[in-house]
Amino acid sequence: MENQAPGRLAADLLGITIDNPVIPASGTFGFGYEFAELYDINILGTFSFKGTTKDARFGNPTPRIAECTAGMINAVGLQNPGVDRVIAEELPKLAQVFHKPVMANVSGFSVEDYAYTCARLDREPQVGWLEVNVSCPNVHGGGMSFGTDPEAAAEVTRAVKAVTTKPVILKLSPNVTDIVRIAKACEEAGADGISLINTLLGMRIDLKTRKPVIANTMGGFSGPAIFPVALRMVYQVAHAVKIPVIGMGGVSTAEDVLEMMMAGAAAVEVGAANLVDPFACRKIIEALPGAMDRYGIRSLREL
């Protein structure tokens, strides 16, 4: 890539230096090797692999996807083969094509689920960070998401930190009235970093059938339309906690990455854009030096 001085795009992420701050978000990049057939994915800072649970999950009934203005709604339902098969089958395939630490994204339906899955993945040498998605329904807590209650989010954080050695990043749901309170609860419980935002809750109705488009009625709303909400929450959290924040939500251009970093993000995840254009992250990385030049930014570390 022209115009990319060594280290100019580098970012520090919880003790690991990454070549650039662009990270495909979990659920939009599979386990990486599918995208490696299209381009050299080692250009990425890292990526967050598909949300992994203790046991295999088939996911939600179809239809799971609904289009909307400047975004999409999905209700895939954490479809994955379960942590044992991820370790036995997916990670060895990934190791052949990606030669950097990868971010493991973990979901669970009880505190014990989270601890078990994180402990298993923590032992894998390829895993550099654990991104713990607390937007899942708490089966023992009436179905409310762990991430909507500060104490539940803190309980997950403490349980995961007790069984792991690698940096733990709590991925927060935006479907709350006070995102800062939840982020601070995670920080106090020992979280090493915070990533946000996960999808907003949305729905569409089919005018012909007069029924919801998504089989589950509602799903996660993502895409460029949510960027201003994400930016606001990243700004609020980054100014309230002392641990690094990873920003995401509607990021689709190099300028969006710069804006997220100016709001306080140490690195930036790109989600829905990968589903629209599988080359989205590569294009953003290639466009970053030019965007930095236009705004007089010598290196991303100064942001």
In a domain, 116, yes or no: yes
**Does residue 6 lie in a domain region?**
no
* Strand ranges (E), 97-181: 102-106, 127-133, 168-171
User: For residues 288 and 254, is the Cβ–Cβ distance under 8 A?
Assistant: yes
The verdict on residue 71 lying in a domain is: yes
H helices of 163-226, in order, are: 179-188
- 107 within some domain: yes
For the cut 60, the answer to whether the pLDDT of residue 5 exceeds it is no
Given this model, what pLDDT does residue 144 score?
A: 73
Interval 131-153 mean pLDDT: 85
Q: Flag the least confident range among 47-51, 103-107, 215-219.
A: 215-219
pLDDT over 60 (residue 3): no
Domain that holds residue 80: 11-302
How much of the chain exceeds pLDDT 70, in percent? Answer: 96
pTM: 0.95
Residue 143 confidence (pLDDT): 67
How many independent structural domains does the chain possess?
A: 1
Strands (E), the chain: 11-13, 16-18, 22-24, 65-68, 71-74, 102-106, 127-133, 168-171, 193-196, 200-202, 205-206, 211-212, 219-222, 245-248, 267-270
Calculate mean pLDDT across residues 113-121: 98
Which positions are catalytic? 136
Of 57-71, 268-282, 284-298, which gets the smallest average pLDDT? 57-71
Whether 247 shows a pLDDT value over 80: the answer reads: yes
Say which residue, 144 or 35, is predicted with more confidence: 35
Mean pLDDT rounded to a whole number for the chain: 94
What would the pLDDT profile of 59-104 be if each residue is shown by its tens digit? 889 999 999 999 999 998 889 999 999 999 999 999 999 999 999 9
Flag whether pLDDT at 283 surpasses 50.
yes
Tell me what pLDDT residue 4 has.
42
Domain with residue 39: its CATH number is 3.20.20.70
Radius of gyration of the chain (CA): 18
d(CA 296, CA 278): 29
In a domain, 3, yes or no: no
Which residues, in sequence order, are bridge partners of residue 52? 106
Mean pLDDT of 21-28: 97
Q: How far is CA 233 from the centre of its chain?
A: 15
Please report whether residue 4 resides in a domain: no
Q: At residue 241, does pLDDT exceed 90?
A: yes
Contact 226, 207 (CB under 8 A): no
